Amino acid sequence: MKVTEHLDKAKTPFVSFEILPLSRGGDINMLFGLIEKLIKYNPPFIDVTSHSSEVQFEETPGGIRKKVKRKRPGTIGICVAIKNKFNIDTVPHILCNGFTREETEDALIELNYLGIENVLAIKGDESGYKKPVPEGRTSNLYAIDLVNQIVRMNNGKYLEEELLDASPTKFCIGVSGYPEKHFESPNLKSDIKYLKDKVDAGAHYIVTQMFFNNQYYFEFVKLCREAGITVPIIPGLKILTSKSHLNVIPKTFFVDLPEELSGQISESAPEHVADIGVEWALKQCEELLGNGAPSLHFYIMHNPKPIQRVLDRLKL
């Protein structure tokens, strides 16, 4: 079922999760164990992130050697395994960075064959490695280009124009929104304009970057509606669990941590940080649901315990 269908049919707000593929060589049973802990919260769908190749340098007796590899492959396989084992819809992330349009089309064809109906179209993080585009191939530079490619496939139009009898795909397309603006945008107004362009191109819903001050989300939704964006806007949430998050999260995701939250964590003992993060997230959830958020989307990586503590008390 498509994400938008889940939203339309839900009588009450629900929760969904986003997880990482395993590190190269990992055991899929570890991921299954994680999902088994989340099943009782009835997530209608689970997002699985995607990662392009990265550059690593290592010192050898013969000098510095450059290695290019994907540290977390397997997004498509993981999505299919989850869907078949747990009967939960999955949303694979499809990237611009690191993949040609031809590779993207192949991936989308596989997903379509395998019965995956949802994708999240994103530009993707810079990995330090710019993949060469072979002669005769092309690439999507921005998320809107990726949305356009998926929409064309939904209309039965593939990269090889002579495939006149090609069957249309039926993907529900999600895109990312940034309540505190994307770090590459000059301001929030222009960022929302780019977001509207993606929706006008055919995106069906928006899921936001994590935020820790709900006012950013409420203002973001208001500005989106004023700009003519009418699709669902799902808030994305993250629970802080360690002191290192005070530096890592703002640096990595370009989000602001409220002074009250960062102050509490800074002054606490390390073993109490997760308690503070859980309480903060619980208050966020209650306020978001009380003000009409259609659902809640949690970035959980591989640690289910903090989100279990929140949802057991939230009792959706």
The CATH architecture of the domain made up of 3-314 is Alpha-Beta Barrel (3.20)
Q: What is the pLDDT of residue 6?
A: 98
Per residue in 175-202, pLDDT tens? 999 999 999 999 999 999 999 999 999 9
Contact 217, 288 (CB under 8 A): yes
Helix crossing, 101-113 with 75-86: angle to 10°? 10
Per residue in 292-309, pLDDT tens? 999 999 999 788 999 999
Q: What is the pTM of this model?
A: 0.91
Rg (CA), the chain: 20
How far, CA to CA in Å, does 208 sit from each of 21, 41, 51, 212, 289? 20, 21, 19, 12, 15
Q: What is the pLDDT of residue 72?
A: 67
Using CA atoms, how far apart are residues 94 and 176, in angstroms rounded to an integer? 12
Using CA atoms, how far apart are residues 16 and 220, in angstroms rounded to an integer? 21
Using CA atoms, how far apart are residues 206 and 210, in angstroms rounded to an integer? 13
Residues with Cβ within 8 Å of residue 181, at least 6 apart in sequence:
187, 188, 191
Residue 107, H or E segment: helix 101-113
How far, CA to CA in Å, does 224 sit from each of 84, 161, 201, 272? 36, 36, 16, 37
Contact 309, 278 (CB under 8 A): yes
Per residue in 199-219, pLDDT tens? 999 999 999 999 999 999 999
Q: What is the pLDDT of residue 58?
A: 59
Per residue in 124-164, pLDDT tens? 865 455 556 666 678 899 999 999 999 999 999 999 876 66
* Mean of pLDDT values over 262-285: 96
Using CA atoms, how far apart are residues 164 and 54, in angstroms rounded to an integer? 37
Using CA atoms, how far apart are residues 205 and 230, in angstroms rounded to an integer? 9
Q: What is the pLDDT of residue 24?
A: 81
Per residue in 76-134, pLDDT tens? 999 999 999 999 999 999 999 888 999 999 999 999 999 999 999 999 865 455 556 66
For residue 237, the one-letter residue type is L
* Mean of pLDDT values over 164-170: 86
Q: Provide the token pair at 186.
A: 């000059």
Q: What is the pLDDT of residue 73?
A: 80
Per residue in 43-73, pLDDT tens? 999 999 986 655 555 566 655 655 555 566 8
Mean pLDDT of the chain: 90
Q: What is the pLDDT of residue 310?
A: 97
Contact 146, 172 (CB under 8 A): no
* Mean of pLDDT values over 21-43: 91
Q: What is the pLDDT of residue 54?
A: 52
Q: Among residues of the chain, what percentage have pLDDT more than 90?
A: 79
Closest among 250, 258, 247, 173 to 215, alpha carbons compared: 258
Closest among 253, 188, 187, 255 to 224, alpha carbons compared: 188
